[in-house]
């Protein structure tokens, strides 16, 4: 996201209210668009009378949560490889090929998702009223979500930020209108169909805007080349898959041991914990925007300066440049952490007032907020590792996140202490993995000159 980060930073540096607000708002849409449209859709749908009927809201929420979870976990590995391939094409000034690759990838992702969604629905919605329609709606939602992830990964090239806002606004508007029409007739299935249509419209609009920004050119052997990238950057794909699984594993364990589902479905959810996590996850947005505009752009510039020194300066100057890079990186992470820490503290203070209205336990929400603080550090460190192409270390960090979260969640449920300890596995896993990833990142920075020279000789260090 460094490209759009530089553009948003220019708005901030105008030092006008309009510029700062425009950068913040655009940054929010880029880093958290799909989550925000989900939150807005839930809020809007919650005002529709038919959702008050017994079981409708639970079935709708369960289908949405499961579609997001399945989509994120199943698509993370290929999506990370796709983004790497697209970034390389754009860097090589083959923007038209990148746009064509995007269209092919989004289409393939959608077509693969439909039969997988239908198969999943045979297990998850077997006994629900109107199971056939509900199953089709779920499959369409899964396909639309997968298309949206692809569209969002390259939407950072869109410079007309109003197009991004319009895409989300029109998608949410379509969802609300269709939910009013289909919901009373089809129940939860109608609401899911409406949400799928909203996501699909947003995806199409973002894809069109991206293609307009890049132009189109033939991308020969697109999927063969993508497969070659997957083999070459297998640790990048593994890091994406493990990180995605880690973010959902505690919810899955809690749902398996004590979750509830609407009659006739197996969309098991744990409403109190899931709601607390959802809102705590939204609290990461300010820190993610800070990362996009400040942390990542600073790191990108400092790293480029250091690499330029490697080929043109003497050893003492290279060492001094490396020391500046390390200090600057630590300072950026520190400022970002202070900012996100302030956001977390403010939300912890107001949590007791919001807990009853939003339906989550205050203590669990506080634990998840602190865990989210460390998750943001983890994300920052993982991105540093991606810049350094230390994908093996990134996969190890994501693996620690997943294993600690899974192990502690299982231990919590098997010992019957889930009610008292919810949130602690997530907090502990974020703490451990963020520390590990930071250690890897700064070790990589200290050795990066050697790594560059090794790679110049043909060694694929860390990949």
Same domain, 91 and 226: yes
pLDDT at 428: 96
Domain membership of residue 36 (yes or no) is yes
pLDDT at 28: 52
Same domain, 304 and 186: no
3-state DSSP of 88-151: HHHHCCCHHHHHHHHHHHHHHHHHHHHHHHHHHHHHHCCCCCCHHHHHHHHHHHHHHHHHHHHH
Q: 3-class DSSP state for residue 158?
A: coil
Burial degree of 203 (CB within 10 A; 0-12, 13-18, 19+): buried
Domain membership of residue 462 (yes or no) is no
Same domain, 198 and 289: no
Same domain, 197 and 315: no
Please, what is the angle between helix 17-45 and helix 2-12, to 10°? 120
- Write the Ramachandran bin of 270: left for phi over 0, alpha for psi from -120 to 50, otherwise beta: beta
User: Cβ distance 121 to 266 under 8 Å?
Assistant: no
Domain membership of residue 241 (yes or no) is no
pLDDT at 264: 82
The range of the structural domain enclosing residue 337 comes to 282-456
Same domain, 351 and 219: no
171-190 as b/e, with b when 16 or more CB fall inside 10 Å? bbebbbebbbebbeebbbbb
Number of domains in the chain: 2
The one-character DSSP state at 269 is B
How far is 91 from 112, CA to CA, in rounded Å?
29
Measured CA to CA in angstroms, residue 155 lies from 12, 159, 206 at distances of 20, 9, 7
| pTM greater than 0.75 (yes/no) | yes
Q: Which residues contact 321 (CB under 8 A, 6 or more apart)?
A: 305, 306, 309, 313
End position of a domain, from candidates 166, 201, 232: 232
Same domain, 178 and 320: no
Could you read off the pLDDT tens digit of each residue along the chain, which spans 463 residues?
Answer: 434 443 444 433 444 444 434 444 455 555 555 666 666 666 665 566 766 676 788 888 888 889 988 998 999 999 899 988 988 888 788 888 988 999 999 999 999 999 999 999 888 887 666 788 999 999 999 999 999 888 887 776 666 667 877 888 888 889 888 988 888 888 888 989 999 999 999 999 999 988 888 888 888 898 999 999 999 899 999 999 999 999 999 999 998 888 888 888 888 988 888 888 888 887 887 777 777 777 777 777 777 777 777 767 677 777 787 888 888 888 888 888 888 888 888 888 887 877 776 677 888 888 899 999 999 899 889 988 988 889 999 999 999 999 999 999 999 999 988 888 889 999 999 999 999 999 999 998 888 877 777 666 655 655 6
pLDDT at 424: 94
Same domain, 203 and 305: no
- Write the Ramachandran bin of 220: left for phi over 0, alpha for psi from -120 to 50, otherwise beta: beta
Domain membership of residue 113 (yes or no) is yes
Domain membership of residue 31 (yes or no) is yes
- Chain-centroid distance, C-alpha 292: 13
Domain membership of residue 271 (yes or no) is no
User: Cβ distance 164 to 209 under 8 Å?
Assistant: yes
End position of a domain, from candidates 209, 232, 255: 232
Same domain, 81 and 182: yes
Same domain, 308 and 169: no
Domain membership of residue 68 (yes or no) is yes
End position of a domain, from candidates 174, 206, 232: 232
Same domain, 200 and 299: no
pLDDT at 310: 72
Domain membership of residue 270 (yes or no) is no
pLDDT at 11: 38
């Amino acid at each position: 996201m460094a490209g759009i980060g530089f553009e948003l930073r220019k708005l901030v540096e105008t030092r006008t209210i309009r510029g700062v607000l425009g950068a913040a708002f655009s940054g929010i849409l880029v880093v958290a668009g799909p989550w925000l449209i989900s939150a807005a859709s839930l809020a809007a749908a919650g005002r529709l009378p038919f959702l008050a009927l017994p079981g409708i809201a639970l079935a709708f929420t369960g289908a949405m949560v499961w579609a997001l979870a399945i989509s994120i976990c199943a698509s993370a590995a290929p999506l990370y490889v796709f983004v790497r391939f697209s970034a390389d094409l754009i860097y090589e000034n083959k923007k038209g090929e990148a746009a064509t690759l995007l269209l092919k990838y989004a289409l393939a992702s959608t077509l693969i998702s439909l039969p997988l969604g239908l198969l999943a629905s045979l297990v998850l919605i077997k006994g629900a009223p109107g199971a056939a329609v509900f199953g089709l709606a779920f499959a369409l939602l899964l396909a639309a979500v997968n298309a949206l992830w692809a569209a969002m990964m390259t939407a950072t090239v869109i410079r007309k930020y109003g197009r991004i806002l319009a895409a989300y606004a029109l998608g949410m508007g379509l969802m609300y209108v269709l939910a009013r029409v289909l919901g009373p007739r089809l129940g939860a299935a109608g609401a899911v169909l409406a949400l799928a249509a909203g996501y699909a419209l947003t995806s199409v609009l973002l894809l069109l805007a991206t293609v307009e920004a890049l132009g189109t050119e033939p991308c020969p052997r697109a999927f063969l080349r993508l497969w070659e990238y997957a083999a070459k950057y297998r640790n990048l794909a593994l890091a994406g898959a493990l990180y995605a699984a880690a973010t959902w594993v505690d919810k899955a364990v809690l749902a398996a041991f004590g979750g509830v589902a609407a009659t006739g479905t197996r969309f098991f959810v744990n409403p109190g914990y899931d709601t607390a996590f959802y809102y705590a996850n939204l609290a990461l947005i300010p820190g993610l925007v800070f990362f996009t505009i400040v942390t990542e752009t600073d790191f990108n510039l400092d790293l480029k300066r250091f690499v330029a020194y490697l080929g043109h300066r003497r050893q003492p100057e290279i060492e001094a440049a490396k020391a500046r890079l390390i200090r600057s990186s630590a300072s950026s992470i520190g400022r970002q952490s202070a900012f996100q820490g302030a956001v977390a503290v403010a939300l912890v203070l107001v949590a007791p007032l919001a807990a009853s209205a939003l339906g989550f336990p205050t203590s669990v929400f506080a634990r998840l907020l602190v865990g989210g603080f460390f998750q943001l550090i983890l994300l920052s460190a993982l991105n540093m590792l991606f810049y350094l192409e230390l994908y093996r270390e990134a996969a190890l960090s994501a693996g620690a996140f997943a294993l600690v979260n899974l192990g502690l969640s299982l231990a919590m449920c098997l010992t019957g202490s889930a009610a008292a300890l919810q949130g602690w596995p997530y907090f502990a896993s974020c703490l451990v993995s963020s520390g590990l990833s930071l250690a890897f990142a700064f070790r990589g920075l200290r050795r990066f000159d050697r790594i560059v020279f090794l790679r110049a000789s043909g060694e694929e260090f860390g990949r």
